[in-house]
Structure 1
Amino acid sequence: MHLILVRPGATLQPAHRPQPITAWAFKQERTVQINTAPLCRICMIGERVGLLVPLILKALTYDEKRGACSVGSNVRDAACYVCWAFARAYEPVELKPFVDQIASALVITALFDRSVNCRRAASAAFQENVGRQGTFPHGIDILTAADYFAVGHLNNCYLSISVYIAGFSEYTKPMIDHLVAMKINHWDGAIRELATKALHNLTPRAPEYMANTVLPQLLPVATGMDMHSRHGAILACAEITHALYKLSSQDNRPVTELLSPDAVEGLRGIHQKLADRKQYRGFGGELMRPAVCALIEKMSISKMPFRGDPVIEGWQWLIDDSLFSSGAKQGIKEAAVSALASLCNEYYQPEPGVADSHMQELLVRQYTEALKSPEVLTRCGCALALGSLPSFIVRGKLQQVREGLQLACTISQKDVGFTEGRRDAVTALAQVCVTVGVDAEGSPDCVLCAGNVQQVYATLLNCMADYSTDSRGDVGAWVREAAMSSLMEVTLLIASTAPHLLSPDIVRQMMCSLSQQAAEKIDRYRAHAGTVFLRLLHSSAPAVPHIPHQEELLSIFPPDVASSLNWNAPSQAFPHITQLLRLPSYEYHTLLGLTVSVGGLTESTIRYSSQSLFDYLKGIQQDAAALGQFSNTLLCIFRDHQRNDRVSVPLLKMLDQMLASGCFDLFTSEDNHGFCVDLLELCKAEIRKSKDVQKLRCCAAVYCGMMQFQGSVRKNVLLQLLMLLCHHFPVVRKTTAGQMYEMVLTYDDVVDPAVLDDVMTLLSDTNWESNVEIVRTPRNQLCDWLEVPRPILVVKSPAQ
């Protein structure tokens, strides 16, 4: 079959004979394959254009899902090209009977097509017709809003441009009808959701049509058998009802004046019909639950007259079942939480500010008890639910809610795996505090006050130290991120209302914890901590009191630096954060954060953090007091995190770099300097009975670096190295021998020149991966040459 389009009266030339280019035509509800000439030359005899236009209009919306893919975008693109050819092939008078149909179809494709290529093709075809035909309604205005580049963003098309174009009456109903007929049942869930939001935005353009025509069409579909159609129709009903409510509220009228009694009854019965058919179960339930939760939220906001109706009990059951279900996804729980807040505000408040005592007791009790559930998703859902409860529900129950959330935030050996639950509990705790507000003299059971502020901050600050890990990595970072945001929200709330509740100790701990997080290795959480740190530092309305070294911090982070600093970039962040080391209040926590960065794994983080740290150390290298304070802080960190591999291993790596760079040269002239003595004892305690090869190798490197110190401590360090030469791990023996060889070359006063060659030969030629009994002989020989007592083998007594 060949379709040849020529201008009326033109002669068909041999060069116009069709080439085998595939397109699709629609005839009698069937698709047939045809060969056409290049579309820029395709025309049809004028009398037949009336037969072709309906096929082209149908092709503009052709979309079919086949398996995991969709076919039809090439058909829609070709149809746009045909419409583009119409503008060149016909005189305006010939297309005049079809202008409205073609214009509406092109606008619909340009706005609502899933493919960006098709949207742009439709926009180009519309522009061509406006320019050559001049008969498209409001063509210039529409082209200005929906040009080639504007239609590239799908959300902008659905939610913004469509509202403007719907202001022209020729396009309003065709756009609405297309969304209802073709998009709310689309196979792509994102398109369905966008279509329902678009219907919400278009409702003010045709409220009566929406209420009297569209909504009655959607209600049967909302309880139909097709899952995708049902999902889209429920969301559409919710959005349209809410839009109608906003229109009616402008005139202080109830929304029921715009809705028919049948429509109100249909909306009320959606949940029960789905529940009776058990359509909340299985794969379909993953779509129905959030859709009906959205319906509950919109019905509550729209103040539908269901107070005291049994449907409220059914809605509450669905919300609770979604929150408690261990199989419900996070998106379902978030939808349920939003619905719960709206439901409480509308139907559990007999009088403004007064809660239904029965529902208040029931909700608080069941959600706080569920925080102890062995299912992590149940904990997440109930924590979020408590955070979303309105103030009239929480007031009078604040102690119960706070204690439940604080317990859920606490990490224990039993609950170490409930990371997501702790994250959501931390977020909920801040939400509850913001909801109830602050009153310094108020009751601890009603508001945030002097009687409970200490407990809230203790919980949030403890969560800043959550470094739990599992197979997914540092999952404790989720909790720390939530704790940072919560600290900022609560602190700014208190600072604006009762700043005297913020004690100097609370503010100091908070700012120090943030400085530690701002110096750590993960870019995302370092950036979040830095942003919160600067937000609190530069907050003027309200101003946060008692910030330690506030003037010095403002000189390090002036407003122009604070606004432009990219915390995600190590090259920008670390030169600034390292300057906090000279501030006594921040030195410990900043150095602790830098430790895991300098001794980490990421090359860029290691490079810039170590460079910034060594630049700081060069500045204090000749200042005995400052260097002594720094070394004491370093030893204190080592002592506080003994046997904590998260800190101790990076710390050993950092010490190796410091010793190799000569950062402690000021101490090497003194015999048995206290820093070296203490460091040796800490290293010995760290690797005692350790089976961590990485830690043992790092410690051997630190021992070698400590040979620059003078006094008898050097012999003790040599003894530890020689003991590692007979470690039961071959790789540790080999690594230690190699590091000792380099040490002898670096520090020429360690070995007597008379035996220097013998020591180096023995270290390099011995196969240190041989059996321990074999390598013990050369090790003992090294002990004799280095004048170190031979280690004595301890024989373990047999187990009783």
Structure 2
Amino acid sequence: MTVHRIKHQKLVPLILKALVYDERRGACSLGWNVRDAACYVCWAFARAYDPKELEPYVNQLASALVIVALFDRNVSCRKAASAAFQENVGRQGTFPHGIDILTAADYFAVGNLNNCYLTISIYIAGFEEYTKPMIDHLVARKINHWDGAIRELATKALHNLTPQAPDYMASTVLPQLLPMAIGMDMHGRHGAILACAEITHALYKLAAQNDRPVTDFLSSESIEGLKAIHQTLSDRKQYRGFGGELMRPAVCVLIEKLSLSKMPFKDDPVINGWQSLIDDSLNAKQSIQEAAVSALAALCQQYYQVQPGEADTHMQKQLLSRYLSGLKSTEVQMRCGCALALGSLPAFMIRNKLQQVLDGLQEACRVTQKEDGFTEARRDAASALAQVCVTVGVCAQASPDSAVCEGNVSGVYEALLECMNNYTTDSRGDVGSWVRAAAMTGLQDVTLQVAGSAPDLLSPAICQRMMCCLAQQAAEKIDRYRAHAGAVFLRLLHSTEPAVPHIPYQEELLKIFPLGGVESLNWSAPSQAFPHITRLLRLPVYRYHTLLGLAVSVGGLTESTVRYSSHSLFEHLKSIQQDEAEMQQFGDTLLHIFRDNLHNDRVSVPVMKMMDQMLANGCFEIFVHQDSHPFCVELLSLCKEEIKKSKDTKKLRSCISVKTTAAQVYEMLLTYDDVVDAAVLDDVMTVLSDSNWESELSVVRTYRNQLCDWLGVPRPTLVTKSPV
């Protein structure tokens, strides 16, 4: 027994060290296999030793295995630790609260890392034997981890664990973190700043439950240490370079959490330093902007009110002027940041200046010839426009400077509806879809706000245009945005508190999309969405926009979208095939779309592809069998106009394909052999069937000219352009 204990005294410390062994090498780390092996050794302990022999080490081993099972980055190590813990509970029976812990952290539950850090850890920390070891491990090993995701999860876990040991956090943990927050290790500095922010905010929430300030928990040294973090980093130039991409959002989170915690910094010079950092961070990448915007909202709420609901006029004027002028910057990131900043401002910072803010954001939403880029800025301006409207509220008879009212509501809707027509493309694809998605969300939020407070502001024209635009987006080809449009369409249609007025054909729409029947409808699946969408074609108000969206889907490139959208469209056409009046209206709408989008390749090319499919499927036989039917004449005229002087092969192939034409001529001659003189028929058939019609143009031209001579058709001649 004594020999075993001596061995245990040497072995257990080594195993405990191995359970947390982690060493970074380049872009990866070494050690998971060591930790996994250590878990296996712990599993073997349960089988090899009598419970009395391991009794002195039970708490150490139990805590270490729980820590690995919850906080290890590698899923196999977490599962191995859980299995080892289970084996020890079953065979040793001495692990504290073993059965309760196994119920929460079994082999399968620990597979989800977020669940481990943010949910299971809270439950297990409720057992005092594990609370401080878990906290100490997070502080010592995880907030300085090389993986940023682990650092952030660790700080959120510390926030959640604070209620289990608030005094320990305030008196022991926070003083440990403050030197790390201004230390030289970049990862440790990043994690420590975030941890300081999260722990302070958690302490504030605990204090607020008893109407106490957070300073009752914090020492004066801790308060001064928190306040000094920003200035220390600024003096050391640590907001620059790669490290700055970590420090900026981390300190912005610190600013947000300290502001929410109502730290006693009002009129302190640190507020100006924080504001300067936020403003500088607005002209950065999106993740930094988002952190800065969140910090700005909290900072304004806590430190820029003279009294509740009344803004510090100096700061209000300064910030609004800065952000509105930033909307006209030549840098897209600055425009985005300023738009997001305006959208985040609390109501008291906007009130009395609302119309000025709305005008600036509405202008930022528009596409002009000089500025056809800035798509991200238009997306963020559309989002901010809706956020501002929701923030200030709605009052029909109010001043345009204080609330959404009769004087400014039309401008808001005009800007958002105009964004629904943004189809800007660049090397990244259809980037205009970002703007359209933001506009759809904005329309939903603003409409529900207006409908709940002053429904009379929603005119029939606004509601009709909005629902038609949503119907068009719900019929288009990109699954993600079709799903978003469908969700917004149904949200407005089915809303009862508040009810949205003036929805065209609301009763018919409710039959197509019944409340109980569309809960499981997957809009992003073409097979489910298009059979519902095409039913809108029977409703005159929605027909144009729905068919416009369908044209892009039917004439698109994605195989599943083309198949299901075209099938649903043909099924609709079959159902109205014998109704001449309905077919006439459908044909007129189709020609109207073609006419409105001549030389707009985004629409005209898919429309011609869709026409080709419909003609091939005999959808317009009712027109084709009539001599010189206006539909056929107009369609031919529009096709000629569309390809006139065009050198776009994709567009030309959409109208007529050389290979297809040769094959069709060959088939025609086989069927109608009396069309060509019998003396040359064999030669014509040979050229049509044996020639390579995909050869160079100069070669194909000789085949064509020979056929023209045989068929008695004048050879086409090239038009020589006169020199300018």
- TM exceeds 0.5? yes
Question: Pairwise mapping of residues 90-489 of structure 1 onto structure 2 (< 5 A)?
Answer: 90-324=49-283, 328-489=284-445
1:716 aligns to what?
none
Give, in angstroms, the shift of residue 700 of structure 1. 1.9
1:227 maps to a residue whose letter is M
Q: Which residue of 2 aligns with 1:28?
A: none
**Secondary structure of residue in 1 paired with 2:280:** helix
Q: Tell me how far apart the structure 2 counterparts of residues 145 and 510 of structure 1 sit (CA, whole Å).
A: 49
Provide the residue aligned with 1:778 in structure 2. Answer: 706
2:662 counterpart (725, 734, 737): 737
- Aligned equivalents of 1:482 and 1:74: distance in 2? 46
- Seen in structure 2, the aligned counterparts of structure 1 residues 547 and 347 have a Cα distance that, compared at 3 Å, is same
Q: Once structures 1 and 2 are overlaid, which stretch shifts more, 216-225 or 124-133?
A: 124-133
Question: 1:414-449: per-residue Cα shift (whole Å, max 9, x none)?
Answer: 222211111111111110010001001111111111
Look up the equivalent residue of 1:83 and give its one-letter code: C
Q: Compute the displacement of 1:756 (Å).
A: 9.8
Check whether the contact 2:624–2:632 (CA below 8 A) recurs between aligned residues. no
Partner of 1:85: 44
Q: Does the residue aligned with 2:311 lie in a helix, a strand or coil?
A: coil
CA RMSD of aligned residues (A): 2.0
**Structure number with bigger Rg:** 1
Cα distance change on mapping 1:762 and 1:110 into 2, 3 Å:
closer
Deviation at 1:740, TM superposition (A): 3.8
State the Cα distance separating 1:754 from its structure 2 match.
6.9
How do 1:504-519 residues align onto structure 2 when only pairs under 5 Å count? 504-519=460-475
Residue 648 of structure 2 corresponds to residue 648 of structure 1: no
Q: Say if 2:705 and 2:715, in contact at 8 Å, map to a contact too.
A: no
Q: Compared with structure 1, are the counterparts of its residues 745 and 257 closer, same or farther at alpha carbon in structure 2 (3 Å cutoff)?
A: farther
Q: Alpha-carbon deviation of 1:102?
A: 1.1
Gaps of 5+ in 1: 1-7, 10-43, 702-731
Q: Which amino acid counterpart does residue 572 of structure 1 have in structure 2?
A: Q
Distance 2:128 2:207 in 1: 22
Task: Letter of the 1:216 partner, please give it.
Answer: P
Query: In the alignment, what sits opposite 2:485?
Result: 529
Tell me if structure 2 keeps the 8 A contact 1:495–1:502. Answer: yes
How far did 1:555 drift? 1.0
Cα distance in 2 between the residues matched to 1:266 and 1:695: 67
Tell me how far 1:777 sits from its aligned partner. Answer: 3.6
- In the alignment, is the contact (CA less than 8 A) between 2:471 and 2:489 conserved in 1? yes
Cα–Cα, structure 1 residues 740 and 493, in superposed 2: closer, same or farther, change >3 Å? Answer: farther
Equivalent position SS for 1:559 = coil
In structure 1, distance between residues paired with 2:393 and 2:148: 39
Structure 2 residue aligned with 1:796? 721
Residues 505/226 of structure 1: CA separation in 2 closer, same or farther (3 Å cut)? same
The answer to whether the 8 A contact 1:783-1:790 is kept is no
Separation (CA, whole Å) in 2 of partners of 1:749 and 1:629:
39
Does 2:536 match 1:580?
yes
Q: Counterpart amino acid of 2:569?
A: L
Read off the aligned partner of 2:405 and give its amino acid letter: C
Distance 1:750 1:623 in 2: 38
Instruction: Give the corresponding residue for 1:13.
Output: none
**Separation in structure 1 between the aligned mates of residue 207 and residue 161 of structure 2, nearest angstrom:** 15
Distance 1:541 1:767, change over 3 A: same
Hey, what does 1:3 align to over in structure 2?
A: none
Q: 1:797 is matched by which residue type in structure 2?
A: S
Conserved? CA contact 1:784–1:790, under 8 Å: no
8 Å CA contact 1:537, 1:550 repeated in 2: yes
Deviation track 1:722-744 (CA, whole Å, cap 9, x = no partner) reads xxxxxxxxxx5x55434444466
Shift of 1:604: 0.9
SS at match of 1:287: helix
Deviation at 1:292, TM superposition (A): 0.3
Give CA deviations for 1:604-627 in whole Å, capped at 9, x if unaligned: 111111111111111111211111
SS of 1:560 mapped into structure 2: coil
- Per the alignment, in what secondary structure is the counterpart of residue 439 of structure 1? coil
Question: In structure 2, how many angstroms separate the alpha carbons of the residues matched to 1:299 and 1:351?
Answer: 20
User: What is aligned with 1:35?
Assistant: none
After superposition, what is the alpha-carbon deviation per residue over 1:344-400, rounded to whole angstroms, capped at 9, x for unaligned? Answer: 000001100000001101111111111111111111111111100000001111111
Residue 500 (structure 1) aligns with: 456
2:614 partner amino acid: M
Note closer, same or farther for the CA distance 1:797–1:329 as it changes in structure 2 (3 Å cut): closer
Following superposition of structure 1 onto structure 2, how do residues 624-773 of structure 1 map, counting pairs within 5 Å? 624-700=580-656, 732=658, 736-742=661-667, 748=672, 751=675, 757=681, 760=685, 763-764=688-689, 769-770=697-698
- One-letter amino acid of the structure 2 residue matched with residue 236 of structure 1: A
> How far 1:668 moved relative to its partner?
2.3
Offset at residue 544 of structure 1 (A)? 0.9
Q: Indicate conservation of the 8 Å contact 2:66/2:81, yes or no.
A: yes
Q: What do the CA deviations read for 1:183-219 (whole angstroms, capped 9, x no partner)? A: 1111111111111111111111111111111111111
Following TM superposition, by how much is the alpha carbon of 1:778 offset from its aligned partner in structure 2, in angstroms? 3.4
Q: 1: distance between equivalents of 2:22 and 2:687?
A: 78
Following the alignment from structure 2 to structure 1, what is the Cα–Cα distance between the partners of residues 131 and 50?
Answer: 27
- CA distance in 2: counterparts of 1:354 and 1:773, whole angstroms: 80
Q: Cα gap change, 1:755/1:491 in structure 2, threshold over 3 Å: closer, same or farther?
A: farther
Q: Deviations over 1:528-587 (max 9, x none)?
A: 111111111111111111111111111111122210111111111111101111110011
Q: Contact 2:687 / 2:703 at 8 angstroms: preserved in 1?
A: no
The whole-number CA distance in structure 1 between the counterparts of 2:670 and 2:543 is: 36
Return the alpha-carbon distance in structure 1 between the equivalents of residues 673 and 420 of structure 2: 47
